[in-house]
Chain A
């Protein structure tokens, strides 16, 4: 059926220049200096990382900045085996939600620092609740990859 009718190839490529604003500029300036910063809601007391300009629950401005530790625990993870357009790492690699010590939410990042082809080691190291710490990139550009990945703490 498909053979009978034509298709036409066309690629759409569009450039964007995204504004980060005051709060997220400060967050990424902090990463460049080796600091992970959150903001604390004066209403409910939750600490958000990445920092937020307002509390999504209370809808009030979050004006108090706090440093959180570059370490925390794994909330959940998965091993990505599939390729797709725009991926920044070649599969296989591990993505995870990490609750940084001193924060009240999950932070998305890579987990690495060991051989992913060994399934036994993978499951042993990646237990939900396991401790991990940040590995800082030698080159920093004030973006999310100023942290290379998180690695398990033995």
Chain B
């Protein structure tokens, strides 16, 4: 694991359609909030890590140049890391690596996206290879829906049961987002609203799918020594895992999903977690699609394979359930993609430090955060705790 590392501050923008700010100002909003939260200034920062989606999302390449001043990186070392949807976890991991290696005391990590400025689905379609798969991509929904269909078929989950559980997930995420002042979508929806929403990619409907959001998140990592000195209540990094799999969509088993399963297993080994359902107090899962959220529950060992709909229907993952998932309203209600995986980590850190406001899960001490990237290809997990 390297040296002990803790999160000493987090900052998020109000996510949503932010045509009131240019892109660098959006980034600076999150950076300023994180510095204020940590009670430090840019002078204390030794290095900066940033990440976003592919440049085509906003039409400005190599955004580490564009954001240089907004991130406070003038005169400091900068690393840019990009792994599509899992970017937010990847940059968090890099912040950890930099501090854990002993090469820096305090590192600022910044993730951002301004999806309202470009064409999200067209950009994501360019993640597919141009020869074989792009023709059939249908943006992100096409692949994530096919994965969900394969999963339901594999585990003989009746269509109606899958539909019912997915609708419950949509309703509970929307309910949770009402408690989150940063969330993009803050509207309550009913089971009927979800089931009658227009079809995007059958059987996935509009309210099963995340919005395209503008937003940024910043997280500050520090050595154990600095954290104890600066921060009254740091969130300690307990374990992390990241795995990738084959590029072509048809070449690996997405109903079992090795990368998600192994990324979590690695993080659990480092954190000493044997029974995640019992030991974790809260989870912030990357859930841009309701059906896909259930596959993650299974990959992360929250329930046996094929049984996620049963656990959803009995309320296991509700705010007052055995393992609350996405009390922030999750990716389903805010998805500025390059920031999203880091928002999951920031939310997990807020939970274990008792700073999550109205979305606080009472007494949370151990939290999982996660993000997924590419054509179901990469998964990253970070576990934080209130104790080292």
Contact = CB atoms under 8 A, between A and B. Distances in A.
Interface of A: 1-2, 4-5, 7, 10, 12, 16, 18, 20, 24, 28, 48, 50, 56-57, 75-82, 84-88, 95-97, 99, 105-110, 128-129, 143-145
B65 interface: no
A48 B251 contact: yes
Interface in B93-147: 117, 119, 121-122, 125, 130-136, 138-139, 141-142, 145-147
B142 A88 contact: no
Given A80-B142, A84-B125, A95-B146, 7 more contacts: A28-B131, A76-B153, A78-B142, A85-B122, A97-B146, A105-B250, A128-B153
B157 to A, nearest CB: 12
A147 B201 CA distance: 23
Contact of A85 (B59, B121, B135): B121
Contacts of B142: 78, 80, 95
Interface string B34-76: 0000000000000000000000100100000000000000000
B198 interface: yes
B59 A12 contact: yes
A107 B138 contact: no
Contacts of A78: 138, 141-142, 145-146, 149, 201-202, 204
Contact of B20 (A5, A57, A85, A95): A5
Given A97-B249, A106-B250, A86 B122 contact: yes
A144 B139 CA distance: 18
Interface in B2-51: 17, 19-20
A131 B166 CA distance: 29
Contacts of A87: 138
B150 A128 contact: yes
Given A56-B246, A128-B150, A2 B121 contact: no
Interface string B236-276: 00000000001111110000000000000000000000000
21 contacts: A2-B17, A2-B20, A5-B19, A50-B131, A50-B248, A75-B150, A78-B138, A78-B149, A80-B201, A82-B200, A85-B121, A95-B138, A96-B146, A97-B250, A106-B249, A106-B250, A108-B133, A108-B249, A109-B136, A144-B132, A144-B135
A50 B136 CA distance: 14
Contacts of A95: 136, 138, 142, 146
Contacts of A1: 19-20
A77 B135 contact: no
B358 interface: no
A79 B131 CA distance: 22
A96 B153 CA distance: 14
B354 to A, nearest CB: 32
A56 B251 CA distance: 9
B146 A76 contact: yes
Given A77-B149, A144-B132, A108 B20 contact: no
Contact of A82 (B117, B132, B141, B248): B141
A111 to B, nearest CB: 10
A80 B59 contact: no
Nearest to B120: A84
B219 to A, nearest CB: 27
Nearest to A80: B138
Nearest to B246: A56
A12 B251 CA distance: 33
Contact of A50 (B130, B132, B138): B132
A76 B145 CA distance: 9
B199 interface: yes
Interface in B195-211: 198-202, 204
Contacts of A128: 149-150, 153
Given A77-B146, A110-B136, A10 B131 contact: no
Nearest to B247: A56
A76 B149 contact: yes
Given A95-B142, A105-B250, A81 B136 contact: no
Name the 9 nearest CB pairs between A and B, nearest first: A106-B250, A76-B150, A85-B122, A79-B202, A84-B121, A128-B153, A78-B145, A2-B19, A108-B136
B201 A18 contact: no
A109 B250 CA distance: 11
A148 B320 CA distance: 51
Contacts of A4: 20
A80 B142 CA distance: 7
Contact of B248 (A16, A105, A143): A105
A83 B138 CA distance: 8
Contact of A108 (B132, B147, B149): B132
Contacts of B131: 18, 20, 24, 28, 50, 143-144
A26 to B, nearest CB: 13
Nearest to B198: A81
A38 B42 CA distance: 55
